[in-house]
Amino acid sequence: MTILEKITAYKRKEVLARKEAIPVTLLESFEHFSRETVSMSRSIANSETGIIAEHKRRSPSKKVINDTTELPDIVKGYEMAGASAISVLTDTKFFGGSLDDLLLARHTTSLPLLRKEFIVDPYQIFEAKAFGGDAILLIAACLDADELTEFASQAKTLGLEVLLEVHNMEELQKSMIPEVDMIGVNNRNLKTFEVSTEVSKSLSEHIPDDIVKISESGISAVDTIKELQKYGYQGFLIGENFMRSENPADAARTFIQKI
């Protein structure tokens, strides 16, 4: 099994347990469920830099990245540094995150929040809304065309935006649905974990102009962003480059000032 297959298999079991513990009817009573969400796509499109700064404690490939810096300090620092949105990893087993991280981020910043998660069930979309998210991530490699349509439609019903992540042309072609607000091209090969921004460049011309283009993974230099902007990319998701620093907020501020 690939790491993605392992994650999604575990996630399906996890979601079943969460459904029993906290039913949707209870999620709908949470404070943030009735909150009016903030548009992540507009925030990125109107930003001079388009930086989506990510809170990420660890990953399957890099193990521990940063598990010492407090989340509120990072999130507030990202906002003050000029980020246009914040991505919060909520997977516990593989990335060390949680829904409590999303909730804490919501109480720390007014920036739009992306729930970064391996979504395999509509229940997780209700969770995203209940815990203060503004947008969800749908990974084309994890879902078939019918699931993408169903999940994206559910998100829109709840007032959430959709960032759809693709890795290649095949995934992009099955992802062309009207409910998508943003398409993120992941520059990391899921099989080899090699990273190349050539993936973003090659797919750029096939993404409709009315969808916000986001490049993900392997972005650690300002020159890379300036190059990708020539291909129409407005958003740039950066996690490890900031989180590897002893002070992620300072790293983000220095990086954004250079753009």
Q: Give the pLDDT confidence of 38-71 residue by residue, as tens digits.
A: 999 999 999 989 999 999 999 887 789 998 889 9
Contact 41, 182 (CB under 8 A): yes
Residue 97 has pLDDT above 90, yes or no: yes
> Average pLDDT in the 220-231 region?
96
Q: How many domains does the chain have?
A: 1
pLDDT score, position 2:
84
Rg for the chain, CA atoms, rounded: 17
pLDDT score, position 219:
93
Q: Tell me the percentage of the chain whose pLDDT exceeds 70.
A: 100
Beta bridge mates, 224: none
- Can you give the CATH number for the domain in which 67 is found? 3.20.20.70
Contact 256, 88 (CB under 8 A): no
Calpha distance 204→231 (Å, rounded): 6
pLDDT score, position 194:
84
Backbone angles phi, psi at 201, to 5 degrees: -65, -45
Calpha distance 49→19 (Å, rounded): 39
Q: Give the active site residues.
A: 54, 56, 116, 165, 186, 216-217
Calpha distance 11→6 (Å, rounded): 8
Q: Which two tokens stand for residue 65?
A: 């990245």
> Average pLDDT in the 94-122 region?
97
Q: Tell me: the pLDDT tens digits for 139-154?
A: 999 999 999 999 999 9
Domain residue limits at 181: 3-258
Contact 138, 119 (CB under 8 A): yes
